[in-house]
Structure 1
Amino acid sequence: MTTMEKNLLIELFVEELPPKALKKLGEAFASVLADSLKAQGLAGASAVATSFASPRRLGLHLTAVAAKAADKSVQLKLMPVAVALDASGNPTPALLKKLASVGADASVVPQLKRAPDGKAEALFLDQQLAGATLSEGLQKALDEALAKLPIPKVMSYQLADGWTDVKFVRPAHGLVALHGSDIVPVQALGLKSGRVTRGHRFEALAETVNVESADSYASQLLEQGAVIASFESRRAEILRQLNEAAAKQGLKPIDDEALLDEVTALVERPNVLTCQFEPEFLAVPQECLILTMKANQKYFPLLDAAGKLTHKFLVVSNIRPADASAVTGGNERVVRPRLADAKFFFDQDRKKKLQDRVPGLAKVVYHGKLGTQGERVERVRAIAHAIVNMLRMATLPYTVEAKDEFEVLDSKVQQAAVLAKADLLTDMVGEFPELQGIMGGYYARHEGLRDGVAIAIEDHYKPRFAGDALPRNHTGTVVALADKLETLVGLFGIGQLPTGDKDPFALRRHALGVIRILVEKNLPLELPALLEAARPAFGELINNPSEAMLTFFADRLAVSLREQGYSAQEVEAVLALAPARLGEVPRRLAAVRAFAALPEAASLAAANKRIANILKKVETPVEAKVVPSLLKEAAEQQLANALATVKPLADGMFANGEYAASLSELAALKGPVDAFFDDVMVNAEDPQLRANRLGLLKSLHEAMNRVADLSRLAA
């Protein structure tokens, strides 16, 4: 850091910011400020930015910031020569006016440079632009940062003068801007910069904190203001305290990143305390208790080693009193009515059977163009029945015992599909929509329904999110597929497609759910056939969406595979063939990866691409047929013989699902393929020879591209 460079601090002090938005607000404020200062040449690319974000402040510490940016030489385009100079070479009024607008006059005309500009010639002026001062640059950066903040909802408030309106996420009351220990004069939201900020509302040593320098900000706030200004540091401290407090009880806190972020945004001086509730509440399903404690109270439930909820929980307080009993007692009193409500809902819901709730679904609107939840249930049931039949057909021939198993499966699937949405009408799901499916499973078990059906009701929404578990049994798998297909086919069929980042019906998530079930369970089902099987359930309500949906699924699958670490080339090679059975995709990808590692792979991929280009240029369809008597050249005879040997072996392995072995057999074709392209003229003048050679290439192309389109591997 040079003598002209010092560390910079910016802090905007505000009223309590929305907790769910704080993390993003802090990151955006700091990153835009830092990027703008770097872009203006006031900070180098290696300057280190540290973000600060607490309930009442947004801030940035940036290292090695200059008091003034270096001057820059720029070449300014003025105008075409034909417009700038008259026939005698003298400056025109247009040129003089342009020069005046950039702070120059006629005296610089001799120094102007001529240079080509497209088809014409233009005049250029070399200028030395003074670098921005820190005050100017920071003002620009601050304005930009405030304008780009991802504010969820703007509020309007008045300044102290009683007249001036300001719009911001929350009223702002202070602005600190320090370059080293010097105040940088800037303004924002009606505030002028200084060095005074405020600490914790209740536990700061003094009402205000005079920040001595940019580097002392965090330590002064901690020591004098009782505030951990850094969001990440505060989050780490909360996590440390949570684990420490739980370990003292021999328990572990529930793992919830979103809750941890939200609590971090609610406190400035975290203090984790242990509380408890009456053990009798544990008779209520733990999902209900956990959700009410997390969602309503921001508590961290404590689990035992087996993952079971205990009657103890952790509270992250914003104060550190000498005697914390009032805080713990207050939180225990507050949570009790919440748990009592959950117990009441649970007890009341069990008084009415799920089957008795099903008729009520006919009164619940699902979608204006797709009818009620009752009609939707019937569609899911019909699609689930079709899926069972597809599974039955995929396993033919089967034994009598297997036939009986499919009939039992269909019976379970029908029952689970009819009851799957019934819990939407329960009090518990009405209070906590996140528990739909889960509560249906509990109520089904209470009624003594078969455990497989209860599990299917609970699991039919799975996977709910990335990384979620799949349905645990066959019944749940079928109903989950049917439920997701009903949503996708129905909404695509009425034109409700996702656009950009807008996906109000979570169709991308539903598609990924279908993909994961088909792939990870390796079901003998073809995606196009599944989409067709789902369509009849809608009758005349929808148009045929199959083509658009197949493209949509292909896009979702490609994104998912790339996220799993497969290269774009590997994914394109496999998906170019649009495999109908998604369960085969992982084995095809593994085979492509193994093939790409072979020494012959690059040459064969390039040859395959060349063949594809040759065949593409042929106007009439080429038949994969070779007449041996028309093989005149030694190289084409050798290729035909090699293909006749390799193809049956590769095809046999492909038929057995041995994709990697099938591709590896193709390595033997490298020499004959290379010789063919070196020695044989494909587009021979004799039409019979030309057709025969194209037929040989077509046969080779088909043999090489059964597992994947190998041309996509070519550089």
Structure 2
Amino acid sequence: MMKHTFLVEIGTEELPSKDLRALGEAFSAHIASELDIAKIHHGEIKWFATPLRLAVKITSLSNTQSCYNIEKRGPAISKSFDSYGRPTKEAESWARSCGITLNQATRRMIGKKEWLVYCSKIKGEKVKNLLCNIIIRAIEKLPITKMMQWNNCEVQFIRPVHSIAMLLDNDVVVGNILGIKTDRVIYGHRFMGKRKIILNHANEYPKILLDHGRVMADYLKRKEIIRKSVETVAKQLGGIVNLNENLLEEVTSLVEWPVVLSARFEEKFLSVPIDVLIYTMQNSQKYFPVYDSSKGSLLPYFIFVANIESKKPKKIIAGNEKVIRSRLADAKFFFTTDRKKKLQDYLPRLNTIVFQNQLGSLRDKSKRIETLAAWIADKIGANISQASRAGLLSKCDLVTNMVSEFSEMQGIIGMHYARYDGESEEVALAQKEQYQPQFFGDLLPTTLVSCSVSIADKMDTLVGIFGTGYSPKGDKDPFALRRAALGVLRIIIEKKLFLDLEILTKQAVQLFGKKLAHTTFLIKKIIDFILSRFFFWYQEKGYNVDVIQAVLSCHSTVPTDLDARIRAINSFCMLKEAKSLVLVNKRISKILIKSSNLISNKNINFSLFKKPEEIKLAICFIRLQKTLKPLLESGRYQDALKELLSIDKPVNFFFERITIMSDDFEIRTNRIFLLKKLQELILKIADISFLQI
């Protein structure tokens, strides 16, 4: 069978840099998937991506599809022919849909019935005839959230498309994709090399683009060239770079021919907090800051990546120095202006910023955070006065000039200003760490004071927004309540803080005073929402749904306790003996359901137990009550579950040799009540009836 090389390149206008790699990888993955579905054998699939193109090259592509069999079952024979052997309308309709006559159908026994079956071997088509539709389907599956239209046509794509090159070896695969006829033309760099390039063979890609078009189409190679060049230039400047992977990816997505250059800025700007300088260079200008290799401090240099090889690089360097000088001058001005006041002096201005129409201003919110953070600090052993102070100042930097200009500096600049004001380090650090974690997998606050403020801030938002009658629906969550709930859970569980969500929520609700109705329903709604995030979080961590459900059914509202129970149940499920306890529990449950009318709240009457099997079970119950109590109180659920395994034999002997439904009413109800009390011991850990072992 002949093997071919296939190439497709979509030439576009500037693609979004933050999505470029994902688009390139997805294009390749979807083409591979479509080839597999079409039963087309192929070799290596390689993707390429630059700001102006997406491409995929496939080697060792088969000439034709693999042959395949199809099988289509029709109606049962009993429904295909009447009592005289004449075909029914149902059978004839099925045969027509298959393009055959009933005489051409096969009869086959499937189960206990005989059925009509259509079997056929389909000969594979030529791959060249299938490629256009495969590419169209792959494009349709690309992860594009916002589409664009151009030239008054109905075609949509992430950016306007100018060319589609599609070759199978040296032949153009004829078709129309995204409103453009396929061709063998690709385009080089806009300002260097050959602009229009004719591809004679798919194998020429991407080398011809590199040699004649001055375009490095290979994304990963381009990224590595930039990485190594930036590190080399930093070393030449007597420093190092802490390469931010996100920035490196974005810069790679912005250039087709990377040229790494360095420039400098005036040392006077080093008086501005380092975070502001780094933010300005990285986020605003896509520059790489340079650090002193020994001290770790910032040097007055930066490295940038140009998209052109200029004969006068000094002009490019001077232009970038002019831009950064202007940006840093603004930052220095804002910083100097802000520093004329202390952080606490900005408190009155918070009255002018509305947090939410029904919930008051940011000043109101900061008062609530101040009080709640102090309450939390008391519960978790943090410094109460520092937590209170940090909560009071927590929103002050939002009305500074620096945050007004650089919004992503909120919290960070508050930390620096607090330090300049002489606040304690824990109070200053809490200004920054109150927002952590900001996303799944983000760092947590490092101190207990920071934890107190962060939890207080998130709980205030959760309670306040839920109290106004709003809750997230579908993918709409403008107040980021899901993120806030997960943040609260992560801090409590990963920092091993003993906080009860029910008590915490009640405390947060009370601080809103008359702004919220202090209803039991509101508190329950908030707790249920937080625990729903717990459910999804532990699913993400790899725990089985039945394990999580078994634990949540015990209605604990202490996150660290829930975590301990889940770990215990998960380990318990791996024990060989676990299944027997689950079966015992299910058997007890069935008896209790059938005898629900006989269950009362009276105590067990041990004097009514006469037979050895019920006496042994009663003794086992008494022993377990004493043994389990300290284990449950200390959260040693794994040890408690191992102790519960001891009821297996006594319960089974009890079931085998004791007639539970005795004619004597007192004996009958006493035996049932013993089983109820045994089940209650199990339920103190989790409802193991959920477990699928």
What TM-score does the superposition give when structure 2 sets the normalisation length?
A: 0.88
Letter of the 1:148 counterpart: K
Structure 2 residue 561 is matched with structure 1 residue 584: yes
Letter of the 2:675 counterpart: L
Q: Which residue matches 1:319?
A: 308
Which region of structure 1 is more displaced relative to structure 2, 91-100 or 499-508?
91-100
Letter of the 2:209 counterpart: L
Distance 2:442 2:96 in 1: 66
State how 1:408-423 maps to structure 2 within 5 Å.
Answer: 409-423=383-397
State how 1:659-670 maps to structure 2 within 5 Å.
Answer: 659-670=637-648
* CA apart distance, 1:345: 0.8
Q: Which residue matches 1:356?
A: 345
Output one character per residue of 1:583-604: Cα deviation in whole Å (capped at 9) or x when no partner. 3344444444554455533322
Q: Which residue matches 1:148?
A: 141
Structure 2 residue 455 is matched with structure 1 residue 481: yes
Assess, with a 3 A threshold, how the Cα gap between structure 1 residues 689 and 214 changes in structure 2: closer, same or farther.
Answer: farther
Assess, with a 3 A threshold, how the Cα gap between structure 1 residues 521 and 616 changes in structure 2: closer, same or farther.
Answer: farther
Structure 2 residue 175 is matched with structure 1 residue 177: no
* CA apart distance, 1:547: 2.1
Assess, with a 3 A threshold, how the Cα gap between structure 1 residues 92 and 578 changes in structure 2: closer, same or farther.
Answer: closer
Q: Which residue matches 1:235?
A: 223
State how 1:92-171 maps to structure 2 within 5 Å.
Answer: 108=101, 110-112=103-105, 131-158=124-151, 166-171=155-160
Output one character per residue of 1:512-549: Cα deviation in whole Å (capped at 9) or x when no partner. 21112222333332111111111122344445432222
* CA apart distance, 1:93: 10
Gaps of 5+ in 2: none
Assess, with a 3 A threshold, how the Cα gap between structure 1 residues 338 and 580 changes in structure 2: closer, same or farther.
Answer: same
Asked if 2 retains the 8 angstrom alpha-carbon contact of 1:32 and 1:145, the reply is yes
Output one character per residue of 1:651-684: Cα deviation in whole Å (capped at 9) or x when no partner. 1233234444333333433432343344334444
Distance 2:75 2:186 in 1: 52
Structure 2 residue 329 is matched with structure 1 residue 340: yes
Q: Give the one of 15, 18, 33 matched to 1:17.
A: 15
Structure 2 residue 446 is matched with structure 1 residue 460: no
Aligned length: 688
Assess, with a 3 A threshold, how the Cα gap between structure 1 residues 252 and 679 changes in structure 2: closer, same or farther.
Answer: farther
Q: Which residue matches 1:58?
A: 54
Distance 1:683 1:69 in 2: 70
Identity among equivalent pairs (%): 37
Aligned-residue RMSD, C-alpha: 3.6
Q: Which residue matches 1:400?
A: none
Assess, with a 3 A threshold, how the Cα gap between structure 1 residues 153 and 687 changes in structure 2: closer, same or farther.
Answer: same
Partner SS state of residue 275, structure 1: strand
State how 1:190-589 maps to structure 2 within 5 Å.
Answer: 190-204=179-193, 206-249=194-237, 251-304=239-292, 307-321=296-310, 324-387=313-376, 391=379, 409-542=383-516, 544-589=521-566
Q: Give the one of 37, 40, 58 matched to 2:38.
A: 40
Which region of structure 1 is more displaced relative to structure 2, 431-440 or 309-318?
309-318
Distance 1:153 1:140 in 2: 23
Asked if 1 retains the 8 angstrom alpha-carbon contact of 2:128 and 2:168, the reply is no
Which region of structure 1 is more displaced relative to structure 2, 421-430 or 136-145?
136-145
Distance 1:629 1:27 in 2: 74
Asked if 2 retains the 8 angstrom alpha-carbon contact of 1:21 and 1:152, the reply is no
Output one character per residue of 1:336-380: Cα deviation in whole Å (capped at 9) or x when no partner. 111111111111111233333222222222223433323323333
Q: Which residue matches 1:31?
A: 29
Asked if 2 retains the 8 angstrom alpha-carbon contact of 1:624 and 1:699, the reply is no
State how 1:645-660 maps to structure 2 within 5 Å.
Answer: 645-660=623-638
Q: Give the one of 652, 656, 672 matched to 1:694.
A: 672
Letter of the 1:560 counterpart: W
Distance 2:623 2:310 in 1: 84
Output one character per residue of 1:114-150: Cα deviation in whole Å (capped at 9) or x when no partner. 89999x9997765665544434422222222333333
Distance 2:545 2:256 in 1: 45
Distance 2:48 2:589 in 1: 57
Partner SS state of residue 224, structure 1: helix
Assess, with a 3 A threshold, how the Cα gap between structure 1 residues 690 and 235 changes in structure 2: closer, same or farther.
Answer: farther
Distance 1:9 1:274 in 2: 37
* CA apart distance, 1:635: 2.3
Structure 2 residue 607 is matched with structure 1 residue 629: yes
Distance 2:203 2:622 in 1: 76
Assess, with a 3 A threshold, how the Cα gap between structure 1 residues 427 and 132 changes in structure 2: closer, same or farther.
Answer: farther
Asked if 1 retains the 8 angstrom alpha-carbon contact of 2:7 and 2:166, the reply is yes
Q: Which residue matches 1:403?
A: none
Assess, with a 3 A threshold, how the Cα gap between structure 1 residues 101 and 582 changes in structure 2: closer, same or farther.
Answer: closer
Partner SS state of residue 55, structure 2: strand
Assess, with a 3 A threshold, how the Cα gap between structure 1 residues 561 and 73 changes in structure 2: closer, same or farther.
Answer: closer
